[in-house]
Amino acid sequence: MQTIKSLIDGQWCEATEHTENINPSDLSDPVCRVANASAGLARQAVEAAKRAQPGWAATGLQARAQILKDISRGILTRSHELAQILAKEQGKTLPEARGEVQRAADIFDYFAGEVYRLGGELFQSVRPGVEVEISREPLGVVALITPWNFPIAIPAWKSAPALAFGNAVVLKPSEFTPATAFLLAEIIKDAGVPDGVFNLVLGTGAEIGQTLLEHPSVSGVSFTGSSATGRKIAAAAIAGNKKLQMEMGGKNAMIVLDDADLDIAVFCALDGAFYSTGQRCTASSRLIVTPGIYERFSQQLSDKILALNIGHALDDKSQIGPVSNYPQLEKNLSYVELARKEAGSIIGGERLQRASEGYYLQPCLALDVDPQARIAREEVFGPLACILRARDYEQALAISNDTEYGLSSGICTQSLKYATHFRRNTQSGLAMVNMPTSGVDFHVPFGGRGASSYGSSEQGHYARDFFTCVKTSYIRS
Ligand code: NAD
């Protein structure tokens, strides 16, 4: 079995402690062995990044852009292998894994162009004869801490802008999905990124994550993960005066009004709530439905859920893969139990047996859920959605906005009046009309509000707000 290692200052580093990377579709067929870095190695990664960063920032625009293009090409050249490993270690189906790999390639390609577009501004000063120039500079060393649900897309959408704008990177991927990050690091190294500019450190959040947060040479931290971890990260980052960006959990609502196209509404709910095994921060976990369509919508959605094919991630027939890891499976099962108590009724939610032993769970729909119930308020991060009743559009919008989160929300309606009012009044970073709450483009900003996000948005040209800092120069001519 292959052993994957951390990449520090251009070298693959062995470690004394090893773990096995589990395959959630087949526990008897592990993905690889993982050499987990020590805190000392994590510190070495930061120090290497600090040494390499000024040279990288001084590298010409064309050379930097070319390297990003080469990373994009490298991802596409190895896309088959990447998708197989991603599906194997994370559990999403092959088509979903292929889509994610393509997205990572698109992101590096997009940021190759952004290298050229980092401009500034020129003002006249209020003092005669003085000009004011506003420019952007790299932050320096950035620590990127990423979750397991998008093992290549999220490392890509943080690493690409970081590198494009002249920063050096220390990436700490999730301990549940290190193999995809390892392949990405190989591709980045092969594309010619100088030693120390991109470092990968494998290990746990408590040890490696904390070491990066405490290191004085880390200038910025970009984190994606749960809101609970985010609160710990924020405390450490702020204590160390680090710039901070965080994308966290969600409890995303999708409203279905009486006049919705039923097929579109059912498609949006099925895709938004259950595909990728419901393990998307933007998953539609609250379906808020008005009386004239409630019965038809619930019935059609229930029928479609029960017809879904749940199976091995690498099996062509699977529409939904297993739950990604054991702690998440346990959490999902505890919420299914809660749903049995809190909902009017539930469908699905059973543990499933397949030819191989894995973390298979039938998607679960909880019907007639009170908006104040815990299953309607807490993020599950699994294939469990609730249906809530609303009298009319106004009550549906009030329920939708009554959450500590604010990542994504959606509405299914044929009314321009309600769709427009919803886009203007929903309290979330993403607003979807007749579309699933999940599934976003790579060239436009992504981010939420409230407990879902902290700091500036990711992706598109908005990514520069985090990965650069602003300098204001006053010049008397
Ligand atoms: P998590 O918070 O458990 O872990 C995320 C990362 O943080 C991992 O790399 C982990 O090792 C690290 N970490 C854990 N404790 C740490 C600590 N004390 N110090 C430093 N690092 C630490 O999240 P997860 O289970 O991997 O991912 C699921 C969560 O991610 C869900 O809540 C989901 O909504 C969220 N998510 C959000 C977005 C978004 O863009 N808003 C996208 C994907 C996932």
Q: Which domains does the chain have, with CATH numbers?
A: 3-248+452-476 (3.40.605.10), 252-433 (3.40.309.10)
Question: For 454-467, how does the pLDDT look when each residue is reduced to its tens digit (9 = 90+)?
Answer: 999 999 999 999 99
The residue nearest atom 1 of ligand 1, judged by CA position, is 225
The single residue of 247, 342, 379, 458 carrying the catalytic annotation is 247
Q: Which residue has the tokens 């990711």?
A: 458
CA of 244 to the centre of ligand 1 (A): 15
The answer to whether the CB of 172 is under 6 A from ligand 1 is yes
Question: For 329-340, how does the pLDDT look when each residue is reduced to its tens digit (9 = 90+)?
Answer: 999 999 999 999
The answer to whether the CB of 475 is under 6 A from ligand 1 is no
Question: For 258-291, how does the pLDDT look when each residue is reduced to its tens digit (9 = 90+)?
Answer: 999 999 999 999 999 999 999 999 999 999 999 9
CA of 145 to the centre of ligand 1 (A): 8
The answer to whether the CB of 428 is under 6 A from ligand 1 is no
The single residue of 13, 281, 364, 386 carrying the catalytic annotation is 281
Is residue 1 over pLDDT 90? no
Question: For 74-120, how does the pLDDT look when each residue is reduced to its tens digit (9 = 90+)?
Answer: 999 999 999 999 999 999 999 999 999 999 999 999 999 999 999 99
Q: Which residue has the tokens 């994308």?
A: 247
The answer to whether the CB of 363 is under 6 A from ligand 1 is no
The answer to whether the CB of 395 is under 6 A from ligand 1 is no
Closest atom of ligand 1 to 453 CA is 41
CA of 76 to the centre of ligand 1 (A): 27
DSSP codes of every residue in 359-376: --B--EEEES--TTSGGG
The residue nearest atom 35 of ligand 1, judged by CA position, is 225
Q: What does the alpha-carbon distance between residue 386 and residue 372 come to, in Å, rounded to a whole number?
A: 12
Q: Which two tokens stand for residue 128?
A: 């005669």
The residue nearest atom 18 of ligand 1, judged by CA position, is 206
Torsions phi, psi for 293 (to 5 deg) = -125, -5
CA of 212 to the centre of ligand 1 (A): 15
The answer to whether the CB of 175 is under 6 A from ligand 1 is yes
Q: Which two tokens stand for residue 404?
A: 């500590």
CA of 265 to the centre of ligand 1 (A): 30
Closest atom of ligand 1 to 452 CA is 41
The answer to whether the CB of 382 is under 6 A from ligand 1 is no
Mutate-to-test residue for ligand 1 from 150, 229, 452, 453, highest number of ligand atoms within 8 A of CB: 229
The residue nearest atom 16 of ligand 1, judged by CA position, is 205
Q: Which of 453, 432, 344 has its CA nearest to residue 388?
A: 344
CA of 225 to the centre of ligand 1 (A): 2
Q: Which amino acid does the sequence have at 83? A: A
Which secondary-structure segment (H or E) carries 346? strand 345-348
Q: How confident is the model at residue 199 (pLDDT cuts 50, 70, 90)?
A: very high
Active site includes 458? no
For residues 366-389, average pLDDT? 98
Q: What does the alpha-carbon distance between residue 138 and residue 151 come to, in Å, rounded to a whole number?
A: 25
For residues 194-203, average pLDDT? 98
The residue nearest atom 39 of ligand 1, judged by CA position, is 247
For residues 199-203, average pLDDT? 98
124: number of Cβ within 10 Å: 10
CA of 289 to the centre of ligand 1 (A): 31
The answer to whether the CB of 181 is under 6 A from ligand 1 is no
Q: Which residues contact 146 (CB under 8 A, 6 or more apart)?
A: 154, 155, 158, 171, 172, 173, 174, 181, 223, 224, 225
The answer to whether the CB of 248 is under 6 A from ligand 1 is yes
Is residue 427 over pLDDT 90? yes
Is residue 477 over pLDDT 90? no
The per-residue pLDDT for 325 is: 98
Question: For 12-39, how does the pLDDT look when each residue is reduced to its tens digit (9 = 90+)?
Answer: 999 989 999 999 999 999 999 999 999 9
311: number of Cβ within 10 Å: 22
Question: For 134-185, how does the pLDDT look when each residue is reduced to its tens digit (9 = 90+)?
Answer: 999 999 999 999 999 999 999 999 999 999 999 999 999 999 999 999 999 9
Cβ burial of 186 (10 Å; 0-12, 13-18, 19+) is middle
% the chain with pLDDT above 90: 99
Active site includes 281? yes
The answer to whether the CB of 455 is under 6 A from ligand 1 is no
Is residue 388 over pLDDT 90? yes
Is residue 429 over pLDDT 90? yes
The per-residue pLDDT for 287 is: 98
DSSP codes of every residue in 52-118: HHHHHHHS-HHHHHHHHHHHHHHHHHTHHHHHHHHHHHH---HHHHHHHHHHHHHHHHHHHHHGGG-
Q: What does the alpha-carbon distance between residue 269 and residue 336 come to, in Å, rounded to a whole number?
A: 18
For residues 44-49, average pLDDT? 98
pTM, full prediction: 0.97
CA of 224 to the centre of ligand 1 (A): 5
